[in-house]
Each structure stands twice: as C-alpha cells, then as structure tokens.
Amino acid sequence: MSFPILTVLLGCAIVLAQALPAPNPKEVLDSKGDKAPTLDTIKDQKADEKFSIANWVSPPEVVKNFPYYLSGYDHEDRPIVVIDIGKWDARSWHKKGKEDWANLEHHAEKMLDILRSGILAKNFTDENNVTKPVTDEMGLIVDFDGFNVAQMTSPHVLAFMTKYLGQLETIQEKLAYAYFEKLAYAYFVNVNAVASVVVRLLRPVMGKAMERVEIYGTKPSQWMPILRRNLPGDQIPKKYGGEQGHNSLVNYG
C-alpha cells in the first residue's frame, strides 16, 4: 500500500474517531421537560465518585497484552521506562466488549499516573532526614515494532492512541500542588510508515514534549548505537543495545 493511500485511509479513520458519539443511556424527560437521569446514569456517577486510578489494579490479561515496564536507570539515575506500544493490539481488544475496553483505558490511565507521580524515582535522605527524589526527570523508550495498518484504520484505536500517547505531554508539567515527573528524553524506535503517520498526528497534541523526542525507523543499526552510547548497557534490554540477560526492574505488562 502506497504512503498517500495510507494517509488517506488514516485521515478517514481520524474523522470517524472524532465523530464517534459517547455512549449515553436513553434520555428521559422529567416533569419540567428537562433530561432526567436514568438509573444507569446514576450508577455510573456513583461509580465515578468512588473510582480512584491510583488504587486501581490492571487485570492480569490486560497486563499480559499491553506491556510497559521500568527497565532501569540512566547515568543520572533517571528512571528509564519502556512502552511496547507495537504489541498493544487494541483493535482486537475493542471487539471483546465495553467492560474489557474500559479496563484497557484504565490501564492506560494508570500508566500515565505512574509516569507522572514520581514513584519510579530513586530517593535519598537529606541532612534534615527528609526523603527526597534524586531527580524529577525520566526517560522513555516507545517501541512501535508490530504497528500495522489494521490497528490504525480502526477509529476506536486511533482515538485511543492519540488520547493516551498525547497525554505524555502532561509529564512535562510540574504543578504547585502536585509532584509530576518531567520528560528528559524519549526515543521512538521502529517507527514504520503507519506509525510515522500516527507520530505526525501526535505532534500538535504532545506540544513541547515532542521537542524531547527522537524518532527512528525500523533499522536498529540507525538507533541502537545511539541508545547504547546514551544509556547504561546493564539498564536496558539487549534488543535496544543493552547487555545479554538484562531483567527489567518492574513489569506492568
């Protein structure tokens, strides 16, 4: 499939994704003619009030099929997180139904919460016996190996990818009332023709975060020496230029 045709197909998928209506319960009018909440709406509101992404745990099947992990720490003790986005078969997952799709969205929200929260940072104790993070920065490796046309011609998948990958920009934020990690660098590797279109769509969404992203194609000979030079060999997998036998520190999938 030629690149122009691929772009047109993905453009159509974008339009469809933006046009997708939110699933609303059947509307009912009260005595004043206003929309009255249905029983399902009330249940959903109560569930939302009780829900906390910080306390939510991804189901084992979601963890298995949508991996990301803390690979190690770089030369400045910043956490290195790998997102195997090419293995995220969201198209097939969407066919499983509403509940499974909701679990996948929570899984993505949980990932962003972990990345922003600073819980992956190494800590030290200062002279006042106060525990502090060594750094407020982190690095990312986003691997698109396996991304294909079938994934990105699905409006639901396209909306999902742009929504959650686009929120990587929020890692840049550091608010007065919350500790947020800052993105020091990111390597997008194995970016094929399909993934390159997605990355181009992400540019305006990710904003300033894209200034810290280096994008590489599907030839490891082009990007592996760079990762090997910039990251400790014992802190990244062999497929990214690391040492044989490397084990990730924390697996979320």
| Residue 131 φ/ψ, nearest 5 degrees | -80, 125
pTM value? Answer: 0.77
Say if residues 180 and 118 touch (Cβ distance below 8 Å).
Answer: yes
Query: Between 98-117 and 155-166, two packed helices, what is the crossing angle to 10 degrees?
Result: 20
Q: How far is the C-alpha of 55 from the C-alpha of 60, rounded, in Å?
A: 15
Say if residues 85 and 162 touch (Cβ distance below 8 Å).
Answer: no
Q: How far is the C-alpha of 159 from the C-alpha of 142, rounded, in Å?
A: 18
Q: Write out the two tokens for 11.
A: 């453009």
Q: How far is the C-alpha of 70 from the C-alpha of 107, rounded, in Å?
A: 15
Parallel, antiparallel, or unpaired for β 213-215 and 182-189?
parallel
CATH H-level, domain 3-23+57-251: superfamily? CRAL-TRIO lipid binding domain (3.40.525.10)
Could you read off the pLDDT tens digit of each residue along the chain, which spans 253 residues? 555 555 544 555 544 444 444 444 344 444 445 555 454 544 455 455 567 888 899 999 999 999 999 999 999 999 999 999 999 999 999 999 999 999 999 999 999 988 888 788 888 887 888 887 788 889 999 999 999 988 878 888 888 988 888 887 766 554 433 444 588 999 999 999 999 988 988 888 888 888 899 999 999 999 999 999 999 999 999 999 999 989 999 888 6
Q: Write out the two tokens for 152.
A: 């990105």
Q: How far is the C-alpha of 105 from the C-alpha of 55, rounded, in Å?
A: 15
Say if residues 138 and 184 touch (Cβ distance below 8 Å).
Answer: yes
Q: How far is the C-alpha of 75 from the C-alpha of 227, rounded, in Å?
A: 12
DSSP state letter for 143: E
Domain segments of the chain as ranges: 3-23+57-251
